[in-house]
């Protein structure tokens, strides 16, 4: 069992840290927000006095933070006190360039490093069934593996530093595009007088099948239970999908990759969020599209 510092005790961080603690690890958490620290303490977590206090003498430090700027700042704070040979795991979803910068900073301190963003959301964090997409050296991956086993059900070693973030944004760009496609197909079916159940039965076993239809169908009462059956309560909020799509477009710009549908998906989720739907599940795109006249959707 390891001594672990866990920084960022928000919606994802608290259940992840709690699962590590329940598994018998010695976990010291910290969050800049007093209310987050209080909520984590109520969950039974031990709270340190600062980010560096949580990291000091920890064998492994896990970050679960909102964005790359914050993750980079906090990484530098904790790297200043981490011992040689210890491991920094950044589970936040951030841009690939900053992830690679954090790997380089860790390298300079002879600290091992992994970027390990997750999919599975708050439910997966709570159930310990997250999927980790991991970038970094093999030795670091092996050291982090026991933690991934506790916090998740799958960890894919995607390659070198930054490759976990690269996998995450490519996956989520595809998810954003496919969800919009699913919403458009069900909206068109409705206009054509075709029953949504009939469309589901066809698509889910045909060439149009995809996770957005088969597992997370954006219409109520069709397919397995999904946020559509719960008035589009997130789930995976549209604002978080917009964040990931924006990261994909930043990466596409940096690498001159052509992603026209990724760009259009980003614009549509941006419009959905601007219309006040940022907290709605991202499959609520179907309702947003229904409020648009065809010419207004560009």
Question: Which chain residues interact with ligand NAD by CB under 6 A?
Answer: 7-13, 31-33, 36, 51, 64-66, 70, 74, 92-93, 118, 121-122, 236, 240, 243
Residues 48, 41: Cα–Cα separation, whole Å: 10
- If the CB atoms of residues 99 and 189 are measured against ligand NAD, the closer one turns out to be 99
Give min distance, CB of 75 to ligand NAD, in A.
10
3-state secondary structure string across 100-128: HHHHHHHHHCCCEEEECCEECHHHHHHHC
Give min distance, CB of 108 to ligand NAD, in A.
21
Give min distance, CB of 166 to ligand NAD, in A.
15
Does the annotation mark 143 as catalytic? no
Residue 131 CA neighbour count, 13 Å, CB half: 11
- If the CB atoms of residues 39 and 194 are measured against ligand NAD, the closer one turns out to be 39
β-sheet bridge partners, residue 100: none
Residues 132, 154: Cα–Cα separation, whole Å: 6
Catalytic residue, chosen from 109, 168, 196, 243, is 168
Residues 37, 46: Cα–Cα separation, whole Å: 9
Give min distance, CB of 127 to ligand NAD, in A.
13
β-sheet bridge partners, residue 171: none
Residues 84, 107: Cα–Cα separation, whole Å: 10
Give min distance, CB of 99 to ligand NAD, in A.
11
Residue 47, CA distances (Å) to 27, 28, 86, 158, 159 in order: 9, 6, 20, 32, 33
Question: What residue is closest to ligand NAD based on CB?
Answer: 10
- If the CB atoms of residues 156 and 194 are measured against ligand NAD, the closer one turns out to be 156
CA 274 to chain centre: 21
Q: Is 256 left (phi over 0), alpha (psi -120 to 50) or beta?
A: left
- If the CB atoms of residues 164 and 187 are measured against ligand NAD, the closer one turns out to be 164
Residues 106, 94: Cα–Cα separation, whole Å: 16
The DSSP code sequence of 228-252 is GGGTTB-SSBHHHHHHHHHHHHHHH
Give min distance, CB of 65 to ligand NAD, in A.
5
- If the CB atoms of residues 57 and 73 are measured against ligand NAD, the closer one turns out to be 73
- If the CB atoms of residues 199 and 242 are measured against ligand NAD, the closer one turns out to be 242
Residue 168 and residue 133 in contact, taking contact as beta carbons nearer than 8 Å = yes
Burial environment of residue 244 by CB neighbours within 10 A (0 to 12, 13 to 18, 19 or more): buried
**Token output for 164:** 């976990």
Known catalytic residues are: 168
């Amino acid at each position: 069992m390891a001594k672990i510092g866990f920084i960022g005790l928000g919606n994802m961080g608290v259940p992840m840290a709690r699962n590590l603690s329940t598994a018998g690890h010695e976990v010291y958490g910290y969050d800049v927000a007093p209310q987050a620290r209080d909520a984590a303490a109520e969950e039974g977590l031990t709270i340190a006095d600062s980010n560096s206090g949580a990291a000091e003498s920890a064998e492994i430090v896990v970050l679960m933070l909102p964005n790359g700027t914050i993750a980079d700042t906090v990484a530098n704070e904790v790297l200043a006190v981490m011992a040689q040979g210890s491991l920094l795991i950044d589970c936040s979803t951030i841009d690939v360039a900053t992830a690679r910068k954090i790997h380089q900073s860790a390298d300079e301190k002879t600290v091992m490093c992994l970027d390990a963003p997750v999919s599975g959301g708050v439910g997966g964090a709570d159930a310990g069934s997250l999927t980790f997409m991991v970038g970094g050296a093999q030795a670091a991956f092996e050291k982090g593996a026991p933690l991934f086993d506790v916090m998740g059900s799958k960890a894919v070693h995607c390659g070198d530093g930054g490759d976990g973030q690269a996998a995450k944004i490519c996956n989520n760009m595809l998810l954003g595009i496919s969800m919009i496609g699913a919403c458009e197909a069900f909206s068109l079916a409705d206009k054509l007088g075709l029953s949504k159940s009939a469309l589901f039965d066809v698509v889910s076993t045909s060439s149009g099948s995809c996770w957005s239809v088969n597992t997370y169908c954006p219409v109520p009462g069709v397919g397995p239970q999904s946020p559509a059956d719960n008035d589009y309560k997130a789930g995976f909020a549209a604002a978080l999908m917009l964040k990931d799509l924006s990261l994909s477009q930043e990466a596409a710009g940096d690498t001159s990759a052509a992603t026209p549908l990724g760009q259009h998906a980003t614009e549509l989720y941006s419009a959905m969020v601007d219309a006040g739907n940022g907290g709605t599940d991202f499959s609520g795109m179907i309702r947003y599209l229904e409020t648009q006249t065809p010419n207004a959707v560009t």
